[in-house]
Amino acid sequence: MLSLVGCNFSKKPANVNVDKNTNGSSEQRENAGNDFVEEDTDLQGDKEGDTEGDALNSGAEADGKKAENPTSQEKDTAQLGDGKIEQQIEEWIATHSIQEKVAQMFMITPEALTGYAQVTTAETATKDNIDKYPVGGIIYFKQNLIDPEQTTTMLNQTKKYYQAAGYATPFLMVDEEGGLVARIASNPNFGVNNFPPMSEIGATKDASKASEVGSTIGAYLSALGFNMNSAPDADVLSNASNTVIGNRSFGSDETLVSEMILAESNALQKEGVISIIKHFPGHGATVGDSHEGYAYTDKTIDELLDCELIPFIDAIEDGIQVIMVGHISVPNVTGDDLPSSLSKHMITEVLRGQLQYDGLIMTDAMNMGAITEKYSASTAAVMAIDAGNDIVLMPSNFQTAYAGVLDAVASGNLSEERINESVRRILRVKFGMDEGL
């Protein structure tokens, strides 16, 4: 029996329709990039290999408050920008190949892109493989990040390769939660202080502290050249025996977690860094570790709506741009053992349908045990896209997964319009980022 903590089970979000039929009973190659075993992108074991940012000032405004309501002029400007962006998106869709569209839907490591054992520069191998596989984004880990000058040079050169080839701006992503998961702050070469675990930030009950985390991290990530951060962690630690999330969570009270993640994500966004909240539908209630294999929660949809989904619901209302879906099975919602990341029910029916989210949806790392123990790279990628994901993160073998999705489109198992739906969402964020919206 689970030891449950927090979560007010009399609370029901007033603005969410609960479908009672959702089954609440309901240059040195070793192919090393494709052999990375990722933890949830977060707890990566870093390796040594071969190698193919300056001042980090981290002043932060720690107000912990949502941005004030935009003025009429600001709304008009945003609407004009949105209209321009939508036109750009449709022009891009009409003039680019299915190969480029599918490539947009992958986020991979620089090692998976180049085939090198370790990448710390962006040189010929990076350029040539971007030309061959213009993936939507690249995620970097501790082994890629040596010091500020090296990191800034690598990221800026990568952007230049995309720009020179006429490709959409790439997402350049890192896991920098603070505390246990800190690729930059854990390296003394970067000269930035790490934050304590988010559980300690949550224990203050002061949302301005979470805002300070977002502002500080956002400032140094932006200075280095990153534009996306896999943070904050929106998991409510409702299972006291859960060790997967542990002190990475802001706490066991869903309202407190909501306040904290909104403060941090808004602060990141103000620094020009896209925030990803994770791990839908909530890893804090689970038994098992999806990094290693099967992880599940036996909660019903009503129970999730009362607790673990509250931070996601609040973030959707607040306009969060990206949600990461975990490899968490919810058999009392779906009626099967499929991980949420591969479940059309959880993504299309619950997240898109009931929670009315139309932003970007990204899988957790697809080379984790919960996926690789049961599915090939190509099968898992096709299932993830069919379920409703827009971005497939770190398949166990990128080339195989990429080819598998193209084959699925060619055979009619995935429609090109389904691909276009995701590409529109991806480009909406990218073109908005380019316009400063």
Residues identified as active-site: 291, 364
Dihedral over Cα of 157, 162, 168, 171: its sign: negative
At residue 113, φ and ψ (nearest 5 deg) are -70, -45
For residue 240, give both structure tokens. Answer: 């006291």
At residue 275, φ and ψ (nearest 5 deg) are -95, 135
| Alpha carbon distance 392, 409 (integer Å) | 16
Q: 269: part of which helix (H) or strand (E)? A: helix 254-270
| Alpha carbon distance 71, 77 (integer Å) | 10
* 79 contacts: CB under 8 Å, gap ≥ 6: none
Residue with tokens 């190509």: 378
| Alpha carbon distance 238, 283 (integer Å) | 9
Angle (nearest 5°) at CA 428 between 427 and 429: 90
Contact criterion met (CB below 8 Å) for 109 and 89: no
Q: How many residues does the chain have?
A: 437
Q: What is the DSSP letter of 22?
A: S
For residue 90, give both structure tokens. Answer: 């449709």
Contact criterion met (CB below 8 Å) for 67 and 398: no
The 3-class SS string of 49-113 reads: CCCCCCCCCCCCCCCCCCCCCCCHHHHHHHHHHHHHHHHHHHHHHHHCCHHHHHHHCEEECHHHH
* 147 contacts: CB under 8 Å, gap ≥ 6: 53, 187, 189, 190
| Alpha carbon distance 377, 253 (integer Å) | 37
